[in-house]
Amino acid sequence: MTCAPVIKSNAYGHGLKLLAKEWNKYDIPFVCVDSLFEAYELRRYGYKKEVLIMGFIDPDDIPREKKFHYACPDIAYAHAVIKKYKKAKLHLFLDTGMHREGMQEVPKEGFIPLKKNIIGVMTHLSTPDNPEISQKQIDTFEKQLQQLEKHDIYPEFQHICAS
């Protein structure tokens, strides 16, 4: 199991500047932020490792930063990111029951040009204090992963988060 800390919203009030330098010390694949602004702030404060930007960025504003990853709530957005930056690292955001954002099911088409860029798959638990609902979401997530495997897509990172 791998840890990828979520440090959005000024590290939930703990201070992005303080944690930026601290997280450099740990062997983690990436940290998660909400916005491009936060990703740039991490860089400004000395964070040198990978960053997953979970919030929407206008594809015209996608930087060619090799250490930024992008959460993609739909296939069209993923294509727009790749059109702007061909080497972008993508995490498909799958909706497993929160019904706020993400793909409710794995699209049947559109993956072929993205295969080499998809390095992660993610979802968000709607009710983490309810084990029954959480388990249903985890089961849905596993079914969606099986759908990706039918397209020969095996993401390195499979992550689930809860607020």
Kindly list the structural domains of the chain, giving each domain's residue range(s) and its CATH number in brackets, ordered by start: 8-161 (3.20.20.10)
Per-position pLDDT tens, the chain of length 163: 567 888 877 777 777 888 888 888 888 999 999 999 999 999 999 999 999 999 999 999 999 889 999 999 999 999 999 999 999 999 999 999 888 888 888 877 787 889 999 999 999 898 888 999 999 999 999 999 999 999 899 999 999 888 7
Tokens of 17: 């500047």
| E strands present in 9-156 | 31-33, 51-53, 68-72, 89-93, 118-124
Tokens of 146: 């099986």
Tokens of 13: 């009030």
Identify any residues that bridge with 72 across adjacent strands, giving them in sequence order. 92
| Planar angle of CA 116, 121, 125, nearest 5 degrees | 170
Does the global pTM surpass 0.85?
A: yes
Tokens of 46: 């000395």
